[in-house]
Structure 1
Amino acid sequence: MKIAIVGSGQLARMMALSGWTMGLEFSFLADAGDNTDCVNGLGTVVHYDSALTAEALYLALGSPDRITVEKEAVNTQLLRELQAFCPVYPDPDMIDVCRHRANEKRWLQAQGAPTAHFYLTNTRADIESALEQAQARLPKDDNKPTIILKSCAGGYDGYSQWRLKSSLEVAALDDSVCVQECVAEERVDFSVEVSVIAARNVQGEIEIYPVAENEHRNGILLTTLVPAQQVSSEQRDQAIAIMRNLLAASNYVGVLTMECFVTEQGIVVNELAPRVHNSGHWSMNAGVVSQFENHIRAVCGLPLGRAQLAQGAAGMVNLLGIDAQPEQTLTTNTQLHRYNKSLKAGRKMGHLNLQADTPEQVQAQMDDWVAKLYA
């Protein structure tokens, strides 16, 4: 079976590497001008050209049996045209939902999933009104923002977000920010951020990975601990139940990721990612079957593997703007994964996967690595 992946980054790389062990062949559709170092040597790379028809692109990709994606920033109209030649998963309609914050919030609420209270804005007056309404609803806290303004399209890893708590801050916003279509989310007071990663195949079989506990730095994921420790069994069950409902409601095929806040009132869904996710990278070494292999299994209509830890606990440390060398990381229960990228400030260059018998041991290892790598 041949699989075409839309995208040429590290997620495409890890999906292809997992599929190679299953005897599958891969090709990649890169945007014009995109760097393809992550996937070079793993299959045919085709650069998108708007002059080519969907059929011509399909043929250039090697007439794949399935098409999937590694990111949300894709041409969903092209994906719909490619559906005439083979199945495309996840469904482009669901990708459109997940990559537009307002549409995503509306869809989540329609499925009964709890989200932050939010306001739609596209003028400075809208943002000021959202701030005033949120101030009336929330307890005052001078150390925290009242609203988080997020562009509806294009934001990721903390980009295109503005934390606001006063009219002066609203007045200081650039005009270009104010005229964007945005959601202004009310502050959520939470104890920890978690994610739930699940796979669903064509036949409707579902596998859900252990709830992961995430720490971010400057809006970008820094570490992940599995299983999450700062979550009650009731909160864990609630998160998993929400995920099952979303998978069924969307007839989803592939891996879906749900990022959440844990609050005293329960789980609040922050956002969805219709793809494999950074917080699931630990599964490459510590999972019975990784998120990457399960995504490929799902889109191919194959039985899913068990989404379980192979041993007591696991963790992941992102390499953000640093490029660790193998000799630095050759220690017990640690694996280095590099993405073959050129070094750039803040860029995800790779990650470390860690395993131990207990979450406490993994957390201690992650703390040590963060201290060493980011000293």
Structure 2
Amino acid sequence: MKVAVVGSGQLARMMALSAWPMGIRFSYLVQQGDSLDPITSLGDVIYDEAFPEAEALYKALGEPDVITVEKEAVDTDRLKALQAFCPVYPDPKMLETCRHRGLEKSWVNEQGVDVAPYRRTGNRQEILAALDAIGYPAILKTCTGGYDGYGQWRIKSAEDAVALEEEVCNLDCVLEGFVNFKREVSMIAVRNAEGESRFYPLTENLHRDGTLLTSKAPAPNLTAELQQQAEEIANKLLAASNYVGILAIEFFVTETADGGEHLVVNEMAPRVHNSGHWTQLGCISSQFNNHIRAITGLPLGNTQAMKITGMVNLLGVEMDNSVLVNSDQQLHGYGKSLRPGRKMGHINLVADSYEELDAQINATLAKVYPEG
């Protein structure tokens, strides 16, 4: 069995590492200039530019049984052409939807699922009109290209709106109203081509400057009702798109008038996701393992959490075992060169209680980021 991955980053690396023990081999479709460090020695690397014809590209990739992606920013026309030779999962049409915030929000709404109030904008007048309708505070986000806090501008007042640069105003954007939420959680869901779906426990996430810093799973104080609500939403979105593979859904948890909890979709990722890294230590089948299982037709793996598990992202810090604070931790390095703020790796950790988990996370953060 051979899988081709579009991309050469840490997600491609961890997919390959999870599947090698199952006898699955990999090739990688990359662009000139892409960093290859994370996938060194993990399979053949093919440069897209060298094979303009789809059939030649398919053969260069080693005639894979299936093609998948580690990111949304890919040439979907290229992937559609490759569908003539083997399955491509997720479907390129879903990649096009998820990588455009306006299309994604509209599509999620069409499935009867709540998102934050929003308006599409393309100039200053449309931004001001959207603010009149939604109110302050709000956040302006580019429809494409923005991630980990990039391509976003907070607008707290009319003065902030006036101060926006004209170049920013003319971008294809969505203006979102702020959601009064209790916490942020995410669902990692998996579905195969036969329509079978499984769901990991909801994960509680903490972000710093728009980038994920820590995760806890199962989310503390997770009720059966909230987990069921998330699974029903995920199942609806998976079925509506005939999805195959891992789908990550980020939610805001809001409070209803009667004191209950209600989920609002923030955004989706049609791929394995940072907030699911904890599954490498906390579950029998990690998100990476289950993604490969789903796209290759293997039986889906167990998604139950074996223990209380956490994850700490290593952002712009050197990678070595000195960052571990005890023997209940597992270090994953990405093989990248150091850059400020860059995702260099992560630490997974397990605990017998949430109090112990919090203590481990706080001790790890203090060691990794001594300046706070």
Contact 1:101 1:153 in 2 (8 A): yes
How many Å apart are 1:172 and its aligned residue? Answer: 1.4
Matched, 1:81 2:77: no
Question: Could you say which residue in structure 2 is the equivalent of 1:247?
Answer: 238
Partners of 2:299 and 2:169 in 1: CA distance: 48
Question: Could you say which residue in structure 2 is the equivalent of 1:141?
Answer: none
How many Å apart are 1:310 and its aligned residue? Answer: 2.0
Matched, 1:271 2:267: yes
Matched, 1:344 2:335: no
The 5-angstrom pairing of residues 249-328 of structure 1 reads 249-265=240-256, 266-311=262-307, 313-328=308-323
Partners of 2:329 and 2:202 in 1: CA distance: 21
Contact 1:321 1:348 in 2 (8 A): yes
Partners of 1:52 and 1:218 in 2: CA distance: 40
Q: Which residue type is aligned with residue 237 of structure 2?
A: L
Partners of 2:196 and 2:48 in 1: CA distance: 33
Partners of 2:271 and 2:278 in 1: CA distance: 16
After superposition, what is the alpha-carbon deviation per residue over 1:147-171, rounded to whole angstroms, capped at 9, x for unaligned? 1111111111111011102222112
Question: Could you say which residue in structure 2 is the equivalent of 1:59?
Answer: 59
SS at match of 2:304: coil
Question: Could you say which residue in structure 1 is the equivalent of 2:153?
Answer: 162
Q: Which residue type is aligned with residue 129 of structure 1?
A: A
After superposition, what is the alpha-carbon deviation per residue over 1:259-294, rounded to whole angstroms, capped at 9, x for unaligned? 000011311100000000001101112211000000
The 5-angstrom pairing of residues 356-367 of structure 1 reads 356-367=351-362
How many Å apart are 1:307 and its aligned residue? Answer: 0.6
How many Å apart are 1:243 and its aligned residue? Answer: 0.6
Partners of 1:71 and 1:27 in 2: CA distance: 16
Partners of 1:170 and 1:351 in 2: CA distance: 37
Matched, 1:223 2:219: no
Question: Could you say which residue in structure 2 is the equivalent of 1:353?
Answer: 348
How many Å apart are 1:233 and its aligned residue? Answer: 3.5
SS at match of 2:37: coil
How many Å apart are 1:360 and its aligned residue? Answer: 2.4
Pick one of 220, 228, 231 that aligns with 1:237: 228
Q: Which residue type is aligned with residue 68 of structure 1?
A: T
Contact 1:28 1:46 in 2 (8 A): yes
Partners of 2:162 and 2:279 in 1: CA distance: 45
Contact 2:325 2:364 in 1 (8 A): no
SS at match of 2:38: coil
Partners of 2:282 and 2:51 in 1: CA distance: 44
TM score, norm. by length of structure 2: 0.96
Gaps of 5+ in 2: 257-261
Question: Could you say which residue in structure 2 is the equivalent of 1:68?
Answer: 68
Q: Which residue type is aligned with residue 207 of structure 2?
A: H
How many Å apart are 1:214 and its aligned residue? Answer: 0.1
How many Å apart are 1:32 and its aligned residue? Answer: 1.7
Contact 1:192 1:262 in 2 (8 A): yes
Question: Could you say which residue in structure 1 is the equivalent of 2:259?
Answer: none
Contact 2:325 2:363 in 1 (8 A): no
Contact 2:51 2:57 in 1 (8 A): no
Question: Could you say which residue in structure 2 is the equivalent of 1:205?
Answer: 196
Matched, 1:27 2:27: yes
Partners of 1:235 and 1:285 in 2: CA distance: 24
Q: Which residue type is aligned with residue 198 of structure 2?
A: E
Question: Could you say which residue in structure 2 is the equivalent of 1:15?
Answer: 15
Partners of 2:323 and 2:345 in 1: CA distance: 14
RMSD: 1.2
Contact 1:235 1:262 in 2 (8 A): no
Question: Could you say which residue in structure 2 is the equivalent of 1:46?
Answer: 46
SS at match of 2:22: coil
Question: Could you say which residue in structure 2 is the equivalent of 1:112?
Answer: 112
Larger deviation, residues 169-178 vs 285-294: 169-178
Partners of 1:50 and 1:155 in 2: CA distance: 28
Partners of 1:67 and 1:76 in 2: CA distance: 12
SS at match of 1:62: coil
Contact 1:227 1:359 in 2 (8 A): no
Partners of 2:156 and 2:322 in 1: CA distance: 46
Partners of 2:355 and 2:190 in 1: CA distance: 28
Partners of 2:77 and 2:45 in 1: CA distance: 21
How many Å apart are 1:359 and its aligned residue? Answer: 2.4
Partners of 1:4 and 1:296 in 2: CA distance: 11
How many Å apart are 1:51 and its aligned residue? Answer: 5.8
Q: Which residue type is aligned with residue 280 of structure 2?
A: M
TM score, norm. by length of structure 1: 0.95
After superposition, what is the alpha-carbon deviation per residue over 1:291-348, rounded to whole angstroms, capped at 9, x for unaligned? 000000000011100111122x000000000123113426221011100000000100
Partners of 1:287 and 1:309 in 2: CA distance: 5
Gaps of 5+ in 1: 136-144
Partners of 1:18 and 1:331 in 2: CA distance: 24
How many Å apart are 1:236 and its aligned residue? Answer: 2.6
Q: Which residue type is aligned with residue 220 of structure 2?
A: Q
Question: Could you say which residue in structure 2 is the equivalent of 1:140?
Answer: none
Contact 2:4 2:61 in 1 (8 A): yes
After superposition, what is the alpha-carbon deviation per residue over 1:48-103, rounded to whole angstroms, capped at 9, x for unaligned? 20762111211111111100000000110100000001000000011111110011
Q: How many aligned residue pairs are there?
A: 365
Contact 1:28 1:44 in 2 (8 A): yes
